[in-house]
Amino acid sequence: MSFSSKTKNDLARKTSDNRCCQLAELSALIRVSGTIQLVGYRKTNVMIVTENPAVARLIFTLFKKSLNIHTEINTIKNKILRKNNSYCIKIVDGTTMLKTLGILMTNQNQFSINDGLPEMLFENECCKRAYLRGAFLGGGSVSDPEKSYHMEFIVHNEYYGTKLIELLEEYDLNAKLISRKNNFIVYIKEGDKIVDLLNIIGAHNALLSFENTRIVKQMRNDVNRLVNCETANLNKVVDTALRQKIVIEYIDEIVGISNLPENLQEIAHLRVANSELSLKELGELLSKPLSKSGVNHKLKKIEKFAEELKESR
């Protein structure tokens, strides 16, 4: 089961006891995943389809609790291999229900669909959160944080998408809107913002799982970064030591190490014999131990001696 499906299953088991929240959540579910059918004068049927059985049961429960409407859940078998079944809930003559949920509006005996949000249902802060929860259950998804940080809502109307973003921005979630094929996508890419939204809609189990994965990924990245840094430093030490050894061997071949200034001869012999050691370790082997910077200073002098030797030949 995908991370998104687990999140929806977790959310679908939590039904608010407040009727105002039930109506807001149901309104979003229908607005995002429902279809309105005109069947006659001032009559409409509503069909809601979902691939998640837990969401279908939630819709059934919300109709019963908030509007006292009894429905049936019909299973649509998918003949395509490996495709999930779909679950359909149909409401016959749902005009009054749609008006109650702020989806249909009447103006001079004419019906029109409310492309914006049903602000009449946002009596309290909890109602806004319930509406976002319904929008996610109806047309949302969240990627597995192990792979990427991405949460989105699929909507069918650009204006509705902009209004949904306005609601999300009340919580400073930095949502964006793009078009994809025949739909519009409201999405969030930042991990911190996705965590905030999961908290807002009440997906606490998913939030904990998301955060745990983020922590593990961060630790893994930190370890990799540290290992890469240590490897780079080690390579640098080895390359420098080999260069110094080659320089000293050149001096020994041309004029002999004994022709180096007396205070450089000991460090020259030690470097040739211990090319794997760092400057600090090399300094500790001297008869009069030196610091890392002191050893580096002496080796620089040896390299300068070799350069002068090459120029004189």
Residue 27 to residue 134: CA distance in whole angstroms:
8
In this structure, the answer to whether residues 191 and 94 fall within a common structural domain is: yes
CB atoms within 10 A of CB 262: 7
> Considering the domain boundaries, does residue 258 fall inside one?
yes
In this structure, the answer to whether residues 197 and 223 fall within a common structural domain is: no
Q: Residue 199 — left, alpha, or beta (φ > 0 → left; ψ -120 to 50 → alpha)?
A: alpha
In this structure, the answer to whether residues 136 and 278 fall within a common structural domain is: no
Please give the single-letter amino acid code of residue 80. Answer: I
Residue spans of beta strands (DSSP E) within the chain: 34-40, 43-50, 73-76, 86-91, 104-107, 110-113, 140-142, 151-155, 176-180, 183-188
> Considering the domain boundaries, does residue 158 fall inside one?
yes
> Where residue 25 sits, what CATH number does that domain have?
3.10.28.10
> Considering the domain boundaries, does residue 207 fall inside one?
no
149 contacts 107 by C-beta, under 8 angstroms: no
In this structure, the answer to whether residues 8 and 135 fall within a common structural domain is: yes
Spans of the chain below 50 pLDDT? none
Give the total number of structural domains in the chain: 2
In this structure, the answer to whether residues 295 and 186 fall within a common structural domain is: no
In this structure, the answer to whether residues 273 and 143 fall within a common structural domain is: no
> Considering the domain boundaries, does residue 138 fall inside one?
yes
| Alpha-carbon dihedral 194, 199, 203, 204, rounded to 10 degrees | 110
In this structure, the answer to whether residues 257 and 295 fall within a common structural domain is: yes
In this structure, the answer to whether residues 196 and 233 fall within a common structural domain is: no
List Cβ neighbours of 170 (8 Å cut-off, separation of 6 or more). Answer: 128
Predicted local distance difference test score (pLDDT) of residue 81: 55
Residue ending a domain, choose from 169, 202, 235: 202
- pTM to 2 decimal places: 0.72
Domain that holds residue 260: 218-312
Predicted local distance difference test score (pLDDT) of residue 57: 93
> Considering the domain boundaries, does residue 209 fall inside one?
no
Helix (H) or strand (E) holding 228: helix 204-254
